[in-house]
Amino acid sequence: MGLYETVLVLDAHDGQAHLVGRQDGPAAEALRTALARQAAHAHGAAERAADRREAAATACDTGSLHCNFRHDGYLRAVERVRDYIAAGDIFQANLSRRFTVAREPVPALPGPGYQQPWDLYRRLRRANPAPYAAYVGLGQGRAVLSSSPELFLDLRGGRVLTRPIKGTRPRRPEGAAPAGESAAAFNRRMRADLLASEKDKAELVMIVDLQRNDLGRVCSYGSIRVTEPRAVEAYATVFHTVATVEGRLHGGRDVVDLVRAAFPGGSITGAPKVRAMQIIAELEPTRRSVYTGSIGYLGPPTEAEPAGRCVLNIAIRTLLAAGPHVHLQVGGGIVADSVPEAEFDETTDKARALLAALGLPV
């Protein structure tokens, strides 16, 4: 877990930037220093941003692409999950593939604040805009770059909100649909197919039940409601079906209790959660690292917010930049009637926007 005392928040709703930190102690001094530095760099920022945008177009060499789960290996793993389901171990497990891109080093560009991972993040945001995006700089050319569409937890005023995602279909821009079919027609067909899928509906119902159970550990009896059972949301390269579950935190419980009860999110583990995670650890060749964890902020209890505050994403559509390598991971929920080839195709659809940000075809 990483905890940061000074955070820059870019609000997509009002277009404002907020630099947030404590009001006293060393963190307050760091906040004042950061504010002064930001003001000093404000002059000419537009010119520097234009330079970085131009550099970002070529900042990442296509390099070489490696996947820890090739086609046949992933299909065998899907069948193994189905065997566990048939044996009664689990109802569902999320199985993922990890890609690693090896890049040629790119010299740092002049100018205050330039970081190559930041420019890669900007490319990711353009290729895959998403509501729960985050950039976490780790120093020495290392960073977490997330463009996540999924809300794990939102706590404010004692009210808890979670929005699990299950169900995916490809979405195409104009000109990229199969021959003989417009992008609009292709997208209408994919949207309708997703809504009609009993398999995807069952996946989401299972995870909603799991999330309700997790929230039930810390929420008041009778307060948990599924306010939106299933809705389609459109993103750059995919459609998703999403549910909304709400509850009210029980008196005496706070944000730490909530995270402890619900983490990690059920949509990226499976059900039952612990056994699904054991099977994931057995079948996936590489430990997940930040992938399917959560990125966001936690605020301590205050007079205005006695239970504290938090907004946390599910760290999907997330890159890990580590020197000359960039790692990305994509997965999907496996259930009893999963078709292995279709599950493989779903991971490819999810990877498309991430690989586009690196300048790689998929």
Task: Give the residue numbers annotated as catalytic, written as ranges.
Answer: 150, 166
Pairing of strands 225-234, 238-248: antiparallel
The residue type found at 167 is: G
Output the six-digit token pair for 261. 């009860």
Dist. CA 1–CA 52, nearest whole Å = 30
Dist. CA 196–CA 26, nearest whole Å = 56
E-strand spans in 22-88? 64-67
Dist. CA 286–CA 257, nearest whole Å = 30
E-strand spans in the chain? 6-10, 17-21, 64-67, 92-102, 132-139, 142-148, 151-156, 159-163, 165-170, 225-234, 238-248, 270-271, 296-299, 309-313, 318-322, 325-334
